[in-house]
Amino acid sequence: MSLCKDRVVIITGAGGGLGRAYALAFAEAGAKVLVNDINLPAAEAVVGEIRAAGGQAQANNGDITGYAAAGEIVRQALETFGDLHVLVNNAGICRDRMFASLGEADWDAVMEVHLKGHFCLASHAVKYWREQAKGGVAVQARIINTSSGAGLQGSIGQSNYAAAKGGIAALTLVQAAELGRYGITANALAPAARTGMTEQVFAETMKKPEDGFDYFAPENVAPLLVWLGSQESQAVSGRLFEVEGGKLSIADGWRRGPERDKGGRWQAEELGAVVEQLLGEAVPAQKVYGS
């Protein structure tokens, strides 16, 4: 399989779970992979697996939450492999609390790793790709972000995580709208898979079966990443994919629903009946996870 032959890919949080599955799948598809993880031995272990299978990879433990450090991650990919084509923003953390008990440190930590981490690396990658495009290179670059079902519909006990993941979904839409002129696509996914984070909460639900199809295996998500990272996906941008087991779907985002136009200013006393009518016509939102 050579769908991504010689394409250079940075994957964050690739020392285990989904990131490891992505790294192995990209390498199998012919890509050259920079395996980023804050845990350097874990990143090096994945690199070892890739090289043992005949692939090309390099380990990196740069800090995705620092702007200058993120620039060094991109620089390493360029110096090691000579180019960059795909950025997979996968790294994440959880600091779950009910909102009434959520502290500032828990809020800031999740925003920093998820939202700021997505920004820092993408900013450096985009600047590189924009300069290529301005220089006449036919760029076919990819940003692949990681949102979550929690970001799409909320999740009890995860207000910080849900807010960050919802922000990533919106960021993806803007990146897609702005960056297409340079040959860059931006898509996101909301994966349901067994990882270090999900096993803490859904250990019984997501445990590996003794036989048969491993529904929550991270490897089930990886083929979509490989395709999105390939040149074949150039026409697809600004989409959010949900992946679970053998299921693949495209999330239907926020859009304007039913409306009433008075042609002038509403009075507060009028709005109760009007809102009741609109709610009766609107498609009900999905329930918040855990509610």
Edge-to-edge strand list for the sheet holding 184-192: 56-60, 32-36, 8-11, 86-88, 141-146, 184-192, 240-244, 247-250
What count of other Cβ atoms lies within 10 Å of the Cβ of residue 12? 28
Q: How far apart are CA 42 and CA 168, in angstroms?
A: 26
Closest CA to 128 of 70, 169, 65, 208: 70
* Alpha-helix residue ranges (DSSP H) falling in 61-158: 67-81, 104-111, 117-134, 149-153
Q: Return the active site residues.
A: 148, 161, 165
Q: How far apart are CA 10 and CA 206, in angstroms?
A: 27
- Torsion (CA) 37, 234, 1, 47 in degrees, nearest 10: -10
Residues 6+ apart with CB under 8 A from 228: 142, 144, 185, 187, 189, 236, 241
